[in-house]
Chain A
Amino acid sequence: MVENIHLAFEGIWSHKLRSVLTMLGIIIGIAAIITIVSTIKGTNEQIKENLIGAGNNVVTIELNQNGNQYDLSWNPLPDQVRVITEDTRKELEQIPGAEQASLYYKRSYSDGLFFRDTAFNGNLIGVDQNYFSVYGMQVRSGRGFTEKDYSQYRKVALVDSTAAESLFNGVDPVGQCLEFGTEVFTVVGIIGPREEFTPTINSFNDYYLYANDGSGTVYFPSSVWPTLYQFDEPQSAAIKVRNTDVMASVGKDAADLLTSSQIIGTDTGFDYRSADMLEQAQQLQNMSKSTNTQLVWIASISLLVGGIGVMNIMLVSVTERTSEIGLKKALGAKKKRILLQFLTEAAVLTSIGGVIGVLTGVGLAELISRVMQIPVAISAPAILIAVVFSTLIGVIFGLLPATQAANLNPIDALRRV
């Protein structure tokens, strides 16, 4: 075998230009695959990192009607749905993998909240005392909601930094008043994520996933929510889970629990469903995967063409070395030996092509990440598979020429000098 590899290198070296041209198909195919795989992996890792970085081990469970989110901004109060009780909230926390559950009211479209003459058109959320802990948020200035705010129905509010900007226009929000109809709420603080986290946004998809809408959110204690809207609104639930892996299962269990405990009667069309970020991320990943799968197919075709090129050159090589093969057979070399010699040569040829392809692919991926600001993660298994695969191509496409060589008739072969 060592001798065969030595022979193979000699053969390849003695036809440098031809060998390089032959390898080109393999090099291009492997380089393309490595580049694509590295980019996919990079993108996926970024999506994951953004999710974890955002502290988003949180599943939300919302009321749906006939499969669509039931938004009270423009839907009437559903009388078949109960208000979620504290006991049920505690039950949610008992779900395996769940750590803390919060109940909240939400309007994604707000009509009638003003600071001076400016109307606010972001989210309004009525939060219980667990909410900020579940989402890993903390007070950035002023103060948060206290026990007394809840028990004494104080008309207070918190704003996030986006709302602080969009609504207050440079004025420090803390201590300012917000008007909602005839009611006046005092802003007591600004709230935000525990650590300032800015997700990397490279594409529109990322933008939709990570970017908050431009207006931000204003938070109220849940106890004063009926002052803003009406009594007995069904809440949504947010559950912090132990890790991203259990998100889906906790979400499903919680949704089932709420559906069975909150909905009155059957065939109402109402149910609770979970919407976790991971699922959205998964969809994104699948989308980028499917486009990339097409690219991998194209690369595979290039490998196929490369393989055929190798077969062609090996056939030429067998013809050229007919007398050498004839002599070896005349001196007693068996078929297997000749077969192995040519298979090794083909495999060495494509393996070198594979290695050059991997290096080119890694270089290309780095280049892409620099120039286009796309994250790239080089995958070690992909590299290994690529090299093994290119060796395999050599073996497969070398089989025909090698068999031809092995089956040469020694006298015919010798005579052709």
Chain B
Amino acid sequence: MRILKLTDICKDYMQGKEPVRVLKNINLEVEQGDYIAIMGPSGSGKSTLMNIIGCLDVPTSGEYELNGNNLRNLKDDDLADMRNKYIGFVFQSFYLMPKMEAVDNVALPLLYADVPLKERRQRAEEALKAVGLEERIHFLPNQMSGGQCQRVAIARAMVTKPALLLADEPTGALDTKSGKQVMDIFDDLSDSGMTILMITHDPDIARRAKKVYHILDGELLTNQEGGTGRE
């Protein structure tokens, strides 16, 4: 089943008074169960692409289909719905609510899906267990290490059972050891059937994915190399 289809996506940003084309005619299809890494140098447009795929931003032109829905002309609140229903986000710098316990952070997207309180708690606890943090349920972000925080963020991304898990340099802020731990979780998620799209510029990490795309100056290079997978 096709999760995602991008056709001729372009994105312009105003830099000064001149529009600058940051994404140039991106074509991309993602199938159910894909595990894709996108690599590219800094400033090549990776995050911009990720934001468009994650319905945080809208393209200047082109067609975008997510889970069978055409996203053209959607209003802000409809995009919020799309994000809530179909997308799970993992950011480089975690973005946890500093004054909320781990479990409340994880339950937050369920609140916006109007899931009742009891079920929210239960599902959040299960998600935390799945990332190995059952002991840290009531910890605040500043009481946890970077790796643990990123695992909370992953639990938050998967608690809604999204169609697509997006990760923008998820190990960028972590040391090698906790980076590896985090990547193991992504591998496990992929094994359990989750569709994952990940940005990285670490080749070792990209190698874990099943497909690797390169982006250069806003263009997605077509010569995809098959990821070697885990060894």
Contacts and interface: CB of A to CB of B under 8 A. Distances in A.
Contacts of A337: 112
A330 B55 CA distance: 9
A154 interface: no
A336 B84 CA distance: 15
Interface string B50-62: 0100101100000
A321 to B, nearest CB: 10
A414 B83 CA distance: 15
A332 B113 contact: yes
Given A331-B108, A331-B109, A334-B112, 15 more contacts: A323-B95, A328-B108, A330-B56, A330-B95, A331-B83, A331-B156, A332-B81, A332-B85, A334-B77, A334-B80, A407-B76, A410-B56, A411-B56, A411-B57, A417-B93
Contacts of B84: 331-332
A195 interface: no
List the 9 closest pairs (A to B, CB-CB), nearest first: A332-B84, A332-B112, A331-B109, A334-B77, A411-B56, A333-B112, A327-B95, A332-B83, A334-B80
B158 to A, nearest CB: 13
A155 interface: no
B134 to A, nearest CB: 22
Interface in B124-162: 156
Task: Label chain A's interface by main secondary structure.
Answer: helix
Nearest to A323: B95
A329 interface: yes
Contact of B91 (A334, A336, A414): A414
Interface of B: 51, 54, 56-57, 76-77, 80-81, 83-85, 89, 91, 93, 95, 97, 99, 108-109, 111-113, 156
B51 to A, nearest CB: 5
Interface of A: 3, 10, 323-324, 327-337, 407, 410-411, 414, 417
Contacts of B80: 329, 332-335
A407 B75 CA distance: 12
Contacts of B93: 417
A333 B99 CA distance: 18
Contacts of A414: 56, 91, 95
Contacts, number: 50
Contacts of B56: 330, 410-411, 414
Contact of A330 (B77, B89, B99, B113): B89
Nearest to A11: B99
B159 to A, nearest CB: 10
B89 A331 contact: yes
Contacts of B91: 414
A163 to B, nearest CB: 81
B83 A330 contact: yes
B77 A335 contact: yes
Contacts of A333: 80, 112
Nearest to B108: A331
B108 A335 contact: no
15 contacts: A3-B111, A330-B54, A330-B56, A330-B83, A331-B108, A332-B81, A332-B112, A333-B80, A333-B112, A334-B112, A335-B76, A336-B77, A407-B76, A410-B56, A411-B56
A154 to B, nearest CB: 94
Contacts of B83: 330-332
Contacts of A10: 99
A129 to B, nearest CB: 83
A215 B27 CA distance: 108
A213 to B, nearest CB: 74
A414 B97 CA distance: 12
Nearest to B83: A332
A10 B98 CA distance: 13
A410 B112 CA distance: 15
Nearest to B160: A332
A334 B82 CA distance: 11
Q: Which of A327, A330, A331 is the most central at the interface, judged by chain B CB atoms within 10 Å of its CB?
A: A331
A324 B77 contact: no
A39 B57 CA distance: 59
Contacts of A328: 108, 112
A407 B80 CA distance: 12
A290 B57 CA distance: 59
Nearest to B75: A335
Contacts of B51: 411
Nearest to B52: A411
A327 B113 CA distance: 15
B141 to A, nearest CB: 12
Nearest to A332: B84
A78 B80 CA distance: 91
Contacts of A323: 95
A331 B56 CA distance: 10
A414 B51 CA distance: 11
B146 to A, nearest CB: 15
A17 B112 CA distance: 32
A405 B51 CA distance: 20
B33 to A, nearest CB: 24
Nearest to A333: B112
A328 B89 CA distance: 12
Nearest to B54: A330
A323 B91 CA distance: 13
A323 B76 CA distance: 17
Contacts of A411: 51, 56-57
Q: Which of B57, B77, B85, B113 is the most central at the interface, judged by chain A CB atoms within 10 Å of its CB?
A: B77
B112 A331 contact: yes
Contacts of A336: 77
A327 B57 CA distance: 14
A334 B78 CA distance: 9
Contacts of A410: 56
A141 to B, nearest CB: 82
A411 B91 CA distance: 12
